[in-house]
Amino acid sequence: MSTRHLVRTALAAAALTLPLLAPQSAPAADAASAPRSAKPDRGDQGVFLAVSRSGKSTIRGVLLQCEPTPRGKHPKAAQACAALDKTRGNLDALPGKRGHCTMKHDPVTAEARGSHRGKAVNWKKTFPNACALHRATGPLFDF
């Protein structure tokens, strides 16, 4: 078989598969008739939680999504969402946990950016160490 014949065969096969690869256009649906899950939900964006050490780059971070149910990579998503619900997304109002931390000075900065139940969240705070962070924020930054 000649090279020319092989090239023609390959081009013909590619031409036959192109219609299969092209995206199919769906008929336009009326927005009111679309299922609720298909509509964009601004409150579903979630909150990206991050912790960094001494102003350096993020050492860990996770996206927490609470709508319609707690989900994401946060290991305690249900408790973290409950904490945000209690404070309506105001991280300064978190009740924290009682307990003692060492006096070791090893600053960590916690950040929360995104939205929770449709309300913007934009918060950043530096703590003297990781223990103080966890005491102040409960399950939210416990990842």
67 within a domain of the structure (yes/no): yes
15 within a domain of the structure (yes/no): no
The pLDDT tens digits for 118-138 are: 999 999 999 999 999 999 999
Backbone dihedral angles phi then psi of residue 110, each to the nearest 5 degrees = -110, 140
Query: Can you give the pTM of this predicted structure?
Result: 0.66
Tokens for 27, please give them: 């008929």
27 within a domain of the structure (yes/no): no
Q: Is the pLDDT of residue 72 over 50?
A: yes
33 within a domain of the structure (yes/no): no
Looking at the structure of the chain, the number of domains it has is 1
Average pLDDT, the chain: 76
H or E element in which residue 131 lies: helix 130-137
Q: Is the pLDDT of residue 93 over 70?
A: yes
29 within a domain of the structure (yes/no): no
How deeply is 82 buried, as exposed, middle or buried, from its count of CB atoms within 10 A (0-12, 13-18, 19+)? middle
CATH number at residue 130: 3.30.350.10
Q: State the residue range of the domain holding 65.
A: 42-141
